[in-house]
Each structure stands twice: as C-alpha cells, then as structure tokens.
Amino acid sequence: SQQGEEDPQALSIQEGENATMNCSYKTSINNLQWYRQNSGRGLVHLILIRSNEREKHSGRLRVTLDTSKKSSSLLITASRAADTASYFCATDPSGGNKLVFGAGTILRVKS
Amino acid sequence: GAGVSQSPRYKVAKRGQDVALRCDPISGHVSLFWYQQALGQGPEFLTYFQNEAQLDKSGLPSDRFFAERPEGSVSTLKIQRTQQEDSAVYLCASSPHRGPADTQYFGPGTRLTVL
C-alpha cells in the first residue's frame, strides 16, 4: 500500500517550460522527500523538506509543503531534456521505520 | 566515492527456484533498506536494518522472503520458491543516519523475472 499519490500521472512539456508535480499523503509525517528515477536506474534524492518547513529551494527545484492539506508540490523551472524521468514523493510516517512512496509522475521534456 | 551497488543486475529464475540478491551499501552507512518496485509503481518498503539488527520486516510479503546483514555491511535478500508475482525490481538503499527520515542513497536495483 502506498501512502503518497502523485498528480499528474504523466506530464509532457517543452524544454524551457516549468513542470509542476503534486503529491498528497494520508498520515502525519516527519518530513517529505522527492526522488528522481531515470529509466532502468535507481532513485536519486532531490530534496527534503521537514514538516515544520513550508517551502524549500535547491537550484531549479522548488518544493512546498502544506501539512494541513497533507500535500506537497515540486516545481522544476526552465526544464531541460535531461529532466525527463519519473519523480516520486516519499514520506516517513511518524513513528515508523520506512519511507512510503507514491506511484510517481512521469515527466517528459521535449527538446 | 563508491555508491550503493547491487548484484546481479538482472536475474531470471524459474518458478520454484530460490534466489539471492546482494547489496553493498556505502561504507560506514548505518541504515540499510530493501524495497520492491513493480512495473509502473513506486518502491514499496520490504525491510530495514540498523547495523546488523533487522528492526523492521513488516513489508516482507511472505515467509518466503528473508533478509540478513550479519556484519552490519553487506546485505542479502533471499526469496525461496519464487513465484511469478515476485517479478519486480528490488532496490537497496543505505543511509548514514538511523531511521528513514533522511536522505537514502539507492543502488541501481536487481530486476528479477520469474518464468
């Protein structure tokens, strides 16, 4: 069972455009992370936002967290073809020992 | 430095065979996690080790699945009497921190196909 749900399931944009992906979850969390997965590869950590934070930036990435709505968004600005990948949000439910991943958003950036 | 490595990268097994999947975490990392990723889905937690102690195995789908990390470094995930529904990518991740709450470093995965 997966706690997070990403939206949209798939997104296709032109190079240079911004991409926004959303994630919703069900239980209280310590923090929320976003990971990227290129086809046939393992996951790469992008950014972590703690439950007491509302917004965080890292390069072209901007993450927001709304704990009252149990949701997060990942914005990739000025997208590049190399950003083509699947993106997953992951939460660690309070008191647990595991990360719970959503089903992911498949992003395709066309050059 | 070296990242997390997994072997084999690909494994084809006949139904009923036993398989063993290996994970070499980043040296010195305390925490080690195993995940199962079905096609088109996100990873699902299987089990968690802190050093050599298996602190959580709540995600293991059946008693055919067994994991160990005897010296607190390399870990092996064993699946006995494989079934077709075991076909998936098995991911290993390690972390220098205790627990799941910080960045996890993932290996490339082992793609298991059960015929």
Give the model confidence (pLDDT) of B74-86 as tens digits. Answer: 999 999 999 999 9
Q: What is the mean pLDDT of residues B37-41?
A: 92
Q: How far is B41 from chain A (nearest CA, A)?
A: 5
- From A14, A2, A18, A9, select the one nearest A105 (Cα to Cα): A9
Interface with B, mutate which of A32, A58, A98, A106 (most B CBs under 10 A)? A98
Q: How confident is the model at residue A96 (pLDDT cuts 50, 70, 90)?
A: confident
Q: Is B66 on the interface with A (CB under 8 A)?
A: no
**Cis geometry, peptide bond prior to residue B43 (ω within 30 degrees of 0):** no
Given A30, A101, A104, which is nearest B101 (Cβ)? Answer: A30
The alpha carbon dihedral of B108, A62, A10, B38 has a sign of: positive
Out of B44, B55, B91, the one facing A42 most closely (by C-beta) is B91
Q: What is the mean pLDDT of residues B94-114?
A: 93
Strand order in the sheet with B75-79: B5-7, B19-24, B75-79, B65-68
pLDDT value at position B37? Answer: 96
Give the A:B interface size as CB pairs under 8 Å. 64
**The pLDDT of residue B102:** 85
> In the predicted model, what is the mean pLDDT of residues A44-71?
96
Q: Check residue B97 and report its DSSP letter.
A: S
As a whole number, the mean pLDDT across chain B is 95
Check whether B1 has a pLDDT greater than 60. Answer: no
Q: Is A45 on the interface with B (CB under 8 A)?
A: yes
Give the C-alpha separation, B12 to B19, whole Å. Answer: 9
Chain A residue with the nearest C-alpha to that of B100:
A98
Residue of A nearest to B91 (CA): A42
- What pLDDT sits at residue A41? 83
Using a CB-CB distance cutoff of 8 angstroms, which residues of chain B are in contact with residue A2? 41-42, 44
Residue pLDDT, tens place only, B44-74:
999 999 999 999 999 999 999 999 999 999 9
Q: How far apart are CA A36 and CA B1, in angstroms?
A: 21
Instruction: Tally Cβ neighbours within 10 Å of residue A78.
Output: 11
**B65-88: string of b/e by CB count within 10 Å (b at 16+)?**
bbbebeeebebebebeebeeebbb
- Res A2 pLDDT > 60: no
pLDDT the model gives residue A1: 47
- Provide the token pair at A47: 């950014």
Average pLDDT, integer, range A65-92: 96
CA nearest to B82, candidates B47, B112, B37, B44: B112
